[in-house]
Amino acid sequence: MTFRAFIFTILITGTCTLPNISFAQTVNEPKNNPAEWSRPYQPFRIAGNLYYVGTYDLGCFLITTDKGNILINTGLANSDKIIANNIRTLGFKLSDTKILLTTQAHFDHMGAMAALKKLTGAKVYVNAKDAQVMKDGGASDYALGNGKPVYTPVTPDKLLHDGDVITLGATKLAMLDHPGHTQGSCSYMLTTSEGKRTYRVLIANMPTIVTEKPFGQLPSYPTVEKDYVTTLRKMKTLKFDIWVSSHASQFGLHQKHTPGDAYDPAKFVDQAGYEKALNDLQAEFDKMVGKKK
């Protein structure tokens, strides 16, 4: 029974019974999402202690340490079982997840955050600029918000700021503030080792444009254009060995890896692919603001 049907029943019958009503039903995740967002995908090891545990297109990443694990992004609401199963398939315990992070507070990366927080007891850390959107379930997002939650609201346990370093065991993960896509969208940088080889890894949130409105018509985010300029500039200066991102399609996962492939970190060494992706996004931004290419 929907909440609206519940109210209608009260008006018609004059009765009110609550035992089977869940107020979580007031959360309305957008429908008609790409099928690839919900399609299960075989988890695999990317490099060192970094693993892919997301769906076919929604990038979710597990970083393992001797003091517990870190999960970045949680996909849609129905991704909780997929992610939990992927973590177990890799041989890790879901209960060992100690920290939950996100690259952005949109429903396609936050959908299962509340459920996985409950399942694991992990602490949720978020860029401070996305904290309010996380707390209201996306209702106040400047581009996608409509005043109603589109995922279960989550109260963060810790607020992060640009350059903050998250430490768990021997792993150090730097949060990089990359606003624009959301006010608190961000990327993460870590170093992981495999034998004698060390890889610098970027888990990127690519600054795609999510609004069709001119930037000047977004009063709830007056610095959006300036933030895109800054983010594009900052991301172009980043140097690393391996990069992945919030969506598998953005970093060419399915061109680089097929389920069942042998472990091969070299497949994800792709600075050129990253630079092309950023150049394409720069062109998209320039078109949006009417600049000459």
Q: Contact, 44 vs 261, CB < 8 A?
A: yes
- Residue 162 to residues 127, 168, 243, Cα–Cα distance (Å): 8, 18, 19
Q: Half-sphere exposure of residue 212, counting CA atoms within 13 Å on the CB side?
A: 0
Q: What is the C-alpha separation between 244 and 122, in angstroms, rounded? A: 23
* pLDDT given at position 195: 85
**Taken in order 200, 167, 46, 265, is the CA torsion positive or negative?**
positive
Residue numbers of the domain that contains 113? 34-289
Examine residue 74 and state whether it is found in any structural domain, yes or no.
yes
* pLDDT given at position 11: 32
Q: What is the C-alpha separation between 45 and 250, in angstroms, rounded? A: 18
pLDDT digits (tens, 9 = 90+) for 80-124: 999 999 999 999 999 999 999 999 999 999 999 999 999 999 999
Predicted confidence (pLDDT) at residue 53 exceeds the cutoff of 60: yes
Examine residue 138 and state whether it is found in any structural domain, yes or no.
yes
pLDDT digits (tens, 9 = 90+) for 175-206: 999 999 999 999 999 999 988 899 999 999 99
2 — pLDDT class (breaks 50, 70, 90):
very low
Helix (H) or strand (E) holding 276: helix 271-289
Q: How many residues does the chain have?
A: 293
CATH code of the domain containing 284: 3.60.15.10
Domain count for the chain, please give it: 1
pLDDT digits (tens, 9 = 90+) for 3-52: 233 223 323 334 434 333 333 448 999 999 999 999 999 999 999 999 99
* pLDDT given at position 291: 53
Examine residue 20 and state whether it is found in any structural domain, yes or no.
no
- Residue 227 to residues 141, 182, 209, 230, Cα–Cα distance (Å): 15, 10, 12, 5
* pLDDT given at position 14: 40
Helix (H) or strand (E) holding 118: helix 113-120
Examine residue 11 and state whether it is found in any structural domain, yes or no.
no
Neighbour order of strands in the sheet with 97-101: 44-47, 50-52, 61-65, 68-72, 97-101, 123-127, 158-160
Residue whose entry in the numeric block shows the structure tokens 């957008």? 30
pLDDT digits (tens, 9 = 90+) for 225-258: 999 999 999 999 999 999 999 999 999 999 999 9
Q: Contact, 71 vs 80, CB < 8 A?
A: no
Examine residue 21 and state whether it is found in any structural domain, yes or no.
no
* pLDDT given at position 26: 87
* pLDDT given at position 281: 98
Examine residue 4 and state whether it is found in any structural domain, yes or no.
no
- Residue 266 to residues 182, 187, 192, 262, Cα–Cα distance (Å): 31, 21, 13, 11
Examine residue 154 and state whether it is found in any structural domain, yes or no.
yes
DSSP secondary structure letters along 225-253 = HHHHHHHHHHHHT---SEEEESBGGGGTH
pLDDT digits (tens, 9 = 90+) for 112-161: 999 999 999 999 999 999 999 999 999 999 999 999 999 999 999 999 99
Examine residue 13 and state whether it is found in any structural domain, yes or no.
no
